[in-house]
Each structure stands twice: as structure tokens, then as C-alpha cells.
Structure 1
């Protein structure tokens, strides 16, 4: 079983529950932090000391507080990307309430996480199963309630350009203002006709009745 684990979670009650699970799994060297920046510093320190962590267990969302303006890493996803860059072989399990298909899929495909456990009624036994599976094999763990996520092909044809369009629509940039916005940001294609065609394509793809409906669907999928 894993020897040295670090937890990144900002709720004490959840930290205590997770630590108890790790103890039951005979993992005794456990550290936890409430901030992603602190977790990254500990992981860097452990690498310098040649006593690296075997596993990072992290939430995705963290409540903002007085330290928010001083933090570099705002989310668990930021932390995962930073850790993968300095310790590519560390095992990573996400422990979160987030159930958006696109975001979960992205974590597996873009950040190569090893497991995703949904917080909920069955999270304790699921976390135990995840720890055992990830440690003993190269298989990925995904909570049974969201196993459909990796097979979901709904968002496979969405690219970064589409995500930029959806993002700016969601923050209130009108369709007729998008051309100047994209030109200012050097995003191409940025002609009015190209933008209109792509937005219409997205509406058709997601079966959205209008732009507001398109934004709502995109939020439900975790695209924005």
C-alpha cells in the first residue's frame, strides 16, 4: 500500500474522515493542507529531500478566504497540473462532489489522474476501493455512479475555440461584439460570419433553442 500521502482539502471534517480511511488501509504517513499552494510546496520539499509522496489526494474546489489574492493555484485542477509537471509518476486521486462530464473527462485525458471518487453516501468504501485498485494495478478508478463519463462522446467534437466562444458568451459578451473581442485577443477565426457559423453549429450540436439555452447546457456539462 502507499507509504506517504498528501491530502489537499479545505474542510477539516472531510480531512479527518479521509485520514481515518487511510489509517484503515495501513497508510500511516499522511499530511494534509487546506491550500493548493501549500500542497505544492510540501511536494517540492519532499522531492528535494528525496522522500517523495506516493499519492496526492485532492478536492477540486476550494472556498476563497483572506489568502485568495496571494495564492497561485486556485483549484485542485491547477494543483494537479503543477504537480504532474514536477513529479510525473505520482499517483493522483480526486475526491470531489463535482459531477460535470467534461471536467472529469478532462482530468483523465489531459492530466492523467488515476482515480476519481465522488463525495457522497458511499464515498468511504469507494475511496478504499480506489486506493487498492490504483496501488495494485495500472487501472483507473471511477465511482460507479459516474462510470458513463469516460464513454460519453457528447463533447468529443468541442475544441478550444468553441470553449472560448462559450466562455465569452457566458460572461455577457454579445454575439455582435465577439468579432472585436477575438481580434483584440488574437483568437482566430475572428470574422463576424465565422463566429456566427460556429455559434449556430454549437446550438445545433447541443440542440439549444437559443444562446441562453446553449450557455445553460454548456454549464451543465462543465464546459464553462
Structure 2
């Protein structure tokens, strides 16, 4: 079983419950972090001390307060952690139920398991921890099994997400083109971007750009 685990969760009650699950699995070293920045620093320090974590269990949503933070979500934490410790096993423990977002966690961030917070979440989390330790891949709560089978968003690519996010920021075509060019995103020509937006409107049956953004938000794409 895992020896050293980090739990990134800002609610004490949930953090304590997760800790109890880990103790039941005889995990000897359990650390907690209420902020994503704090969790990331713990991961980096553990690597520096030559005593890295074996597993990270993280929520996706972290409530903002007076404290200034660089990493504001579990997604950002996972992306940062994977850059410094690519082989770290990761489990997301969240109420998220948007199929695209769950898919992206597995496909883009390489998580090992997703457990939905709910009525049976504790035994499911315990089972997921055991399965991840045994090197099973893509462990998902039964009630969300549809998420990885959902083909409705199969044509959506990372490029489309970046484009939709730019639209949410209110950038014009030319501003988006410049932003993409500076970031090395291809294609970055105004005409190419406009064609892509039109394809997205057709794909989602959106009447206009505002409608497209609303649909994207409802689906959890942005």
C-alpha cells in the first residue's frame, strides 16, 4: 500500500474523513493542504528531501479567501504537479459531473481515478485507492461511468477549449489571433479562428457567439 499521501482539500470535515480512510488502509504518513499553492510546495519539498509522495488526492474546487494564490483550482494543481513529478499517482475527489471535464482530467492531466463525492463516496474512495495502488487505470465512480463513454464531445479538442476561453474573456478575433500567436497556438490566423468558431456554433447548434459561450459553460467546457 502507499506509504506517503497528500490530501488537498479545503473543507476540514472532508479532509478528516479522507484521512480516516487512509488510516484504515494502514498508510503511515498522511499530509493535508487547504490551498493548492500549499499542496504544490509540499510536493516540491518532498521531492527536494528525496522523500516524494506516492499519492495525491485532490478536490477540484477551492474557495477563495483573503490569501493570494497562484494556483486556484485542483486542475491547475494537478497540471503543476505533473510537471515536477510525472509519475505521482493522482485521485480526484470532487462533486464535478461534467463529462468533458472528467474526460480531460484523464486524457490531459493523466489522473488515475475520479471519485464523486456523494452517498457512497467513502467506500468508493477506499476502493479507488486500492485499485490505483494495484496499477489499475481510469478508475471512475459507477454513477459517472457514462462520462468516459460519452461520444457527444469527441470532436472537441484542446484548441477549441482555448478558443472558447478567449471568447469568454471578451477578446476580439484579432486579439485572439495575437494571443494565440504569442502563445504558439496554431492555427492563429483571424480567418482560421473565425471558421473554427462557426464550426463550433454548428456543432453545438448555437445561434450566436453569446449562445455558444453559454452552452460551453453549461457543459463545463470553460
- Give the TM-score normalised by structure 1: 0.88
Match of residue 101, structure 1, among 99, 102, 111: 99
Structure 1 SS opposite 2:155: coil
The aligned residue for residue 206 of structure 1 is 204
The aligned residue for residue 28 of structure 1 is 28
Q: Identify the range of structure 1 (18-27 vs 155-164) with the bigger mean alpha-carbon deviation.
A: 155-164
Q: After superposition, what is the alpha-carbon deviation per residue over 1:109-142, rounded to whole angstroms, capped at 9, x for unaligned?
A: 1121110011111111110110111112332210
Structure 2 SS opposite 1:111: coil
The aligned residue for residue 182 of structure 1 is 176
- Give the TM-score normalised by structure 2: 0.88
CA apart distance, 1:205: 1.0
The aligned residue for residue 117 of structure 2 is 119
Q: After superposition, what is the alpha-carbon deviation per residue over 1:55-82, rounded to whole angstroms, capped at 9, x for unaligned?
A: 10011111111112xx221211111112
Closer, same or farther: CA 159–23 of 1 in aligned 2, 3 Å = same
Closer, same or farther: CA 85–209 of 1 in aligned 2, 3 Å = same
Is it true that 1:90 corresponds to 2:75 in the alignment?
no
Q: Identify the range of structure 1 (53-62 vs 20-29) with the bigger mean alpha-carbon deviation.
A: 20-29
Structure 1 SS opposite 2:62: coil
Closer, same or farther: CA 160–46 of 1 in aligned 2, 3 Å = closer
Moved over 6 A (4+): none
CA–CA distance in structure 1, aligned partners of residues 97 and 135 of structure 2: 25
Closer, same or farther: CA 79–165 of 1 in aligned 2, 3 Å = closer
Is it true that 1:143 corresponds to 2:137 in the alignment?
no
Q: Identify the range of structure 1 (151-160 vs 49-58) with the bigger mean alpha-carbon deviation.
A: 151-160
CA apart distance, 1:167: 2.2
CA apart distance, 1:165: 3.2
CA apart distance, 1:9: 0.6
Q: Identify the range of structure 1 (204-213 vs 139-148) with the bigger mean alpha-carbon deviation.
A: 204-213
Count of residue pairs brought into register by the alignment: 217
**For structure 2, which runs of at least 5 residues remain unmatched after alignment?**
none
